[in-house]
Structure formats: C-alpha cells, structure tokens
Amino acid sequence: MESFKQEKIGEVPSNDFKAIKKEREAKIREHEREKFGGDYSKKPENLKAFIEIGLSGIIEKLPSKIKAVQLGGAGGRLAESVKKILEGEGKNSDFSIVDVNKKFLEEAEKRGFGVFELNLVDKVPIERIDLAIMRNVLHYNSIEDIKKILRNIKDSLKPEGYFVNQVISGKDQYHVEFINKILSKEALGRGTNYLTKGDYLKLCEEAGFDTKFAGDAPAGKWTLKEMFWRTYPKKAEAQGVEDLSVFSEKEKEEYFKKRDSYVEKCKGILESFSRGKNIEDIDFKGVETEIEFTGPIFVSQPKIKK
C-alpha cells in the first residue's frame, strides 16, 4: 500500500452541514447538478478513468454473479457504465442505487435500477455486497458522519467484497485546507470536507478497511461564481449558472450583493494562505476565480480478522 503523511483531519462541526443537506435533497434533476465543475461528473473520460483505475485490477476477482450498489448514486449513470463493462467481461451484476434525493432516484429507476432513498449515515440497506462504488460524495459530510458512512459500508460487504471510491481532494494539504476554508460556514454558510489522501487512508483504517490508493482521475475545476450559485436559494425555473431571468430587480440586487461579499471573503482567505502557505498558483479573478480539485481513487476491502 502506498503510504502518505497522516495530516491532522480538520473537522467541521456537524451542524455546519445543514445547507449541504438541503442541497443534496433539493429537487433538481441529475443533469442540472452535473452542470457544475464543467460537467465533471458526466464527462466520458472521467467515468472511464474511474472504471480503469478503480476496477481494472479487481474485475477478475469478482464472482460471475455480482451483488453491487452505487452509494450516493444519484441517477445511476456510473452504475450503468460499470454494469456494461462487467457484462463485457462475462460478469452479471445486479445493481442498486442509494441516495437521499428522490428526484435523482427517479432517474435511476428509469435506467432499470432498484433504488433506496435513505442517508448512508444511518445504514447501507443491503447486506453481503460483492461490489460497492462511490464517487464524489463523502465531502458533503462532517468527519464524524464520514466515519459512520465508512463503517456502514464496511459492515455491508462480504468479507471478500470491494469498495471502490473516488474522493474530492486538492493538490496538497494546503490546497485542501484553503478549499475547505472558502466553503466553510463562515465564508459560504455551508461547510465541506475535501480530504487529503492521508486523511482518507486514515479514516478507512479506523473504519476497518485495508485500503490502497489506485490512482488519480482527471482533475476538474469550478469557479467561485459556480459554487456560490450552487448554494444560493434559487427559483425552480432558473436554468444554468446565474440565470437571473426569473428574479425581480430587488432579488437580483440582493443576489449580487451577497455574491460579491462572498468573493471578497475568498480574496482575503487567498491572500492569507498565499502569505503563509504555498498556494500561489491560484490566480484571483473575482467571480471567475478557478479552483482546481483532484480525484484520487481508492480500493478497499474489509480487514481480515486474525
């Protein structure tokens, strides 16, 4: 297993995640969520990278009939791609999708998957799983809830089962700290937990997993404008980032006031980090400031009890 320095994990209190919970449960379609970060989640090359990096080394070890689940699976786009790959290798997979968002699950049902509407913090509703996959989900949770989710996943797997997960991270520890700061309750009113590779490996170890870093998916980017829009209370008719056509003039004025205040907070945080830590590669461009994120992929199995 590749080793990393185990940095201190910066926990954001659970009550700071109320805004994120509302966002996850918001009644928006899968394709609307995927517009953020340059359509990162649905880009074919990113789906392909997850499969090649996370699954290529374990497909031959999976049984011919696979009990599988995508956790935080939204509309099941990833599960659909994985199922096709497994079929091409002579493997028959029975996939289920778990998510808290009913609208996402309606998309998954259209793809022919069984669905479960619940929070992974509470439980994984399936037992003796051969393969669990997850992608870009954990950062929506507090560290304490991430620990619960990982334990629940571990307990749901067969002893020889696999958990393949892509997390959202940054270039290094300082970039991760910076991103968590500009997405914090104080800055944005929400809170998030991007994880370093070391953070994630430590959390998996505590949950009872043997985990290996498999490789990095392509990096992605989002702008301060995108992230603020994603969090801001929007009207259902709004389409795309900063579509204010359905806002009144007063609502537009209030929106820009709050957005610009957020951008100024980010500018101050960036200046603070640039003075004390090496993140000078982030070029401040106001609302169009781009933040790059990385996507390390890990493969885990329950620890063998001795």
Residue of 145, 165, 163, 167 lying closest to 153 (CA atoms): 163
Pairing of strands 92-99, 65-71: parallel
- The answer to whether the CB of 130 falls within 8 A of the CB of 159 is no
Mean pLDDT of 122-144: 95
- The answer to whether the CB of 298 falls within 8 A of the CB of 174 is no
pLDDT exceeds cutoff 60 at 52:
yes
Mean pLDDT of 48-62: 96
Kindly list the strands in the beta sheet with 129-135, ordered across the sheet, starting from the edge strand earlier in the chain. Answer: 114-117, 92-99, 65-71, 129-135, 157-166, 290-302, 209-223
Cβ count within 10 A of residue 3: 9
> What's the whole-model pTM score?
0.86
- The answer to whether the CB of 176 falls within 8 A of the CB of 195 is yes
Domains, the chain, in order of start with CATH, read: 14-302 (3.40.50.150)
Tally of CA atoms within 13 A in the half-sphere of 181 that contains its CB: 16
Note the pLDDT of residue 189: 84
